[in-house]
């Protein structure tokens, strides 16, 4: 059995005025629903998180991993 998709939580839990966590870039709803999501749904959340990080210019590219444009 494979491991579940892990939470992007970095223990900096504070929502901004758009209801986005300043630590992990998930919405309040995404955070609240995380434990009930399937792995496929978690991957979709992580894709949205990555897009939010890119839009905020707050990410570190990983060598060899292509960055998708939103």
In the three-class reduction of DSSP (H, G, I as helix; E, B as strand; rest coil), residue 15 is classed as strand
What ranges do the domains of the chain cover?
1-58
pLDDT at 69: 57
Taking the CA of residue 15 as centre, how many other CA atoms within 13 Å lie in the half-sphere pointing to its CB? 11
pLDDT at 57: 77
pLDDT at 54: 85
Say how far apart CA 42 and CA 63 lie, in whole Å: 23
First-residue to last-residue Cα distance in the chain: 32
Q: What is the pTM of this model?
A: 0.77
- 34-49 residue pLDDT tens: 999 999 999 999 999 9
In the three-class reduction of DSSP (H, G, I as helix; E, B as strand; rest coil), residue 10 is classed as coil
Residues of the chain with pLDDT under 50: none
């Amino acid at each position: 059995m494979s491991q579940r998709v892990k939470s992007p939580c970095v223990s900096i839990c504070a929502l901004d005025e758009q209801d986005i966590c300043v630590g992990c870039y998930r919405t309040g709803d995404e955070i609240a629903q995380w434990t009930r999501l399937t792995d496929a749904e978690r991957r979709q959340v992580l894709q949205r998180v990555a897009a939010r990080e890119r839009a905020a210019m707050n990410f570190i590219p990983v060598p060899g991993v292509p960055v998708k444009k939103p």
